[in-house]
Amino acid sequence: MTATDKSHPIHLVVNPRSGYGGHKYMLNAFRQELSRAGLAVNEHTTRAPGDATDYARAISNTASAVIVWGGDGTAHEVAEGLAGSDVPLLVCPAGTENLLAKELRMPSEPRQLAEVLQDWQVAECDVGLVNGRSFLLIIGVGFDGEVVRRLSAARTGHISHLSYFWPVWRTFWEHRFPRLRVTADDEELFHDRGLVFVGNISRYAVGLRICRDAVFDDGLLDLVIFSCHEHSALVLHAAWTLLRRHPLKGNVIYKRVRGVRIESDRTEPSQVDGDVGPGTPLDISVAPRRIKLFIPTRTPWWQNWSWIGELSI
């Protein structure tokens, strides 16, 4: 790899379906901030799933940086095209959950986002592989995968947190917990009914820290296995996870690993970075290639008060 040439153009990848309608006004303000800073930007609007990956791969040798305006799914697609290159990625919180942007403590105000780009502080992030497909955030198998499958089947446009209500509600009452066999680093850890998460970052939907201790640049993945036979146990797991005490529970396995294999007694759906993933069996590992990400150097004053920062992000 060669060092990034800052004389090359900056590219902005926009997913018009991400987040809520109000984000388009934020995008216009962000464009104005980039222009005010004297930054010339080539803009690309995605048209279909996979388009962001194709575009990012095509410009990976000619771009100085890529900005993604969209949610976690769009960030994942762009990262897939840039992984292994020296082109850094600026992730803007313009989706529904924005887990990666929150993990990086990215600001949401357009002027501050432009400042992050100008400061050019870059960190390297691990990239995971699941059945040969890359991921940056978190994989859920079983209950979680079924919720995302139902949501995706019904989705017609922008989604919000409310969009998850019926998929979660129906899955809660209709889901039957599968028997899963989980092997990590050649050691069988679990063979029972439950649900599994494998994460590269700590954050998950609605503020849960399922992979509580995950670090995005440590070369490891955090494996979380919840033993679960009935719906009441799922509610208890959720409560302990909300309190971030779940790794201490006797019916929860929490381990940092390099590779995981997940098998089941029937094909189970998965979610990968918030989108529908492959069905079991799954082979998950840390990829040899990494992705460069912009990180903020100027922390807003309120994030210095940790409890306020946690509530806001």
Q: How confident is the model at residue 169 (pLDDT cuts 50, 70, 90)?
A: low
At 240-275, the pLDDT tens digits run: 787 788 887 878 999 999 999 999 988 999 989 888
At 220-242, the pLDDT tens digits run: 999 999 998 887 777 787 777 87
Q: Who wins on pLDDT, 30 or 145? A: 30
Write down the pTM of the prediction: 0.81
Q: How confident is the model at residue 21 (pLDDT cuts 50, 70, 90)?
A: low
Contact residues for 268 (Cβ-Cβ < 8 A; gap 6+): 141, 142, 145, 146, 178, 180, 279, 280
What mean pLDDT value characterizes the chain?
Answer: 84
Predicted pLDDT at 146: 76
Q: What is the arithmetic mean of pLDDT over 159-171?
A: 58
CATH class of 133-288: mainly beta
Which ranges in the chain belong to alpha helices (H)?
A: 23-36, 51-59, 72-82, 99-103, 110-119, 143-154, 165-174, 231-242, 306-312
Is the model's pLDDT at 138 over the cut of 60?
A: yes
Question: Within a 10 A sphere around the Cβ of 157, how many other Cβ atoms?
Answer: 8
At 111-130, the pLDDT tens digits run: 999 999 999 999 999 999 99
CA distances (Å), origin 277, targets 37, 53, 146: 39, 16, 10
Q: Are 114 and 265 in contact (CB under 8 A)?
A: no
User: Is it true that domain 10-121+295-312 has CATH number 3.40.50.10330?
Assistant: yes
Strands 138-141 vs 133-135: parallel, antiparallel or unpaired: unpaired
At 173-204, the pLDDT tens digits run: 667 888 999 999 999 999 999 999 999 999 88
Domain with CATH 3.40.50.10330 in the chain: 10-121+295-312
Predicted pLDDT at 115: 95
Is the model's pLDDT at 94 over the cut of 80?
A: yes
Q: Who wins on pLDDT, 148 or 190? A: 190
Predicted pLDDT at 233: 78
Domain with CATH 2.60.200.40 in the chain: 133-288
